[in-house]
Amino acid sequence: MMLHGCMHKPRDLAAISGMNDEADKNTFLVVYPEQTKEANPLRCWNWFDANHQTRDLGEPSLLAAIVLKVASTHNIDPRRVYVAGISAGAAMAVVMGATYPDLFSGVGVMAGLAFKAGTTAETGLTAMKQGGPDPKQQGLLAFKVMGNNISGKSIRRVPVIVFHGDADPYLSPINADQVIAQWAKTNDYLDDGIDNDSVKSEPAETIAGSVPAGHSYTRYVYNDRSHRLLMEKWIVKGLSHAWSGATAVTPFADPKGPHASEEMWRFFRKTSRATAHRRRRISHR
């Protein structure tokens, strides 16, 4: 599931991301839900609104229903369903990962924010510029949300891959750090139900690279307690508020960055193989 950003439509995200090409090469389906002007004048997903941050309510319930509809009409592996987005769509992808971890096996974040970084329009705007609340506390909050909503159901850990440009004028790069820190703490709790730093927010590996005739980047790799890949963060030098490695040159698209869609699929495929048979039951603590 690919979630577009503000002032965008699904076809815009399909055009810039190249995710359909990845789907054709790797035999998977992509669904692009559309936000309406009636729901938000700028066509933003309302990730910052407390009415749209809860399971079975608001936009999360509508998006989950789309996943279930596709699964009912196509031969879908339920262990390999993912959600990704850009900007407001990325923030909503994080919400979906926390509220429906039984549906999604991984989250892709292109210039997004941590879970409940804002709960009103004002706090959402502040988080975009300065970052949100303590991400460790937000990580615990996400875990509690999972426990309240799906107690007793099987759940995997939640792999997360994050991209952010260091020249983003709308979202401070601190939000990329906070997304990782939040999910590190959530996954720490998911591991054994307690806060014992079984998943660390410090990278196990840091890799520098560059795109030929394009942007340089730093890739941070985070593992679980078994030293398996769990999270990645890509900070792209010179990237603005845009899809990295876009296949078209339009607003919010930059072809000079690493190919985010290709890297997201690589990450999802690798982490799904590692987690397909590792589940635990979650209970609220």
Exposed/middle/buried for residue 136 (C-beta within 10 Å: 0-12, 13-18, 19+):
middle
Residue 258 confidence (pLDDT): 98
Residue 277 confidence (pLDDT): 43
Bridge partners of residue 216, in order along the sequence: 210
Average pLDDT estimate for 113-139: 97
Q: Largest Cα–Cα distance of the chain, in whole Å? A: 51
Average pLDDT estimate for 143-161: 80
Asked which of 135-149, 185-199, 264-278 is least confident by mean pLDDT, the reply is 264-278
Residue 267 confidence (pLDDT): 98
d(CA 112, CA 212): 26
Report residue 133's pLDDT band, with 50, 70 and 90 as the boundaries. Answer: very high
Residue range of the domain that includes 22: 2-281
Name the domain count of the chain.
1
Q: What is the pLDDT of residues 8-21, one digit of tens each?
A: 999 999 999 999 99
Asked which of 74-78, 119-123, 261-265 is least confident by mean pLDDT, the reply is 74-78
Bridge partners of residue 222, in order along the sequence: 231
Q: Give yes or no for a contact between 82 and 104, defined as CB atoms under 8 angstroms apart.
A: yes
Query: Which position has the higher pLDDT, 148 or 158?
Result: 158
Average pLDDT estimate for 67-73: 96
Residue 278 confidence (pLDDT): 45
Please name the residue that has the structure tokens 């906070």. Answer: 178
Q: What is the pLDDT of residues 243-253, one digit of tens each?
A: 999 988 888 99
Q: Nearest CA to 117 among 105, 102, 133? A: 133
Report residue 191's pLDDT band, with 50, 70 and 90 as the boundaries. Answer: confident
User: Does the pLDDT value for residue 126 go beyond 90?
Assistant: yes
Q: What is the pTM of this model?
A: 0.94
Write the CATH number for 138: 3.40.50.1820
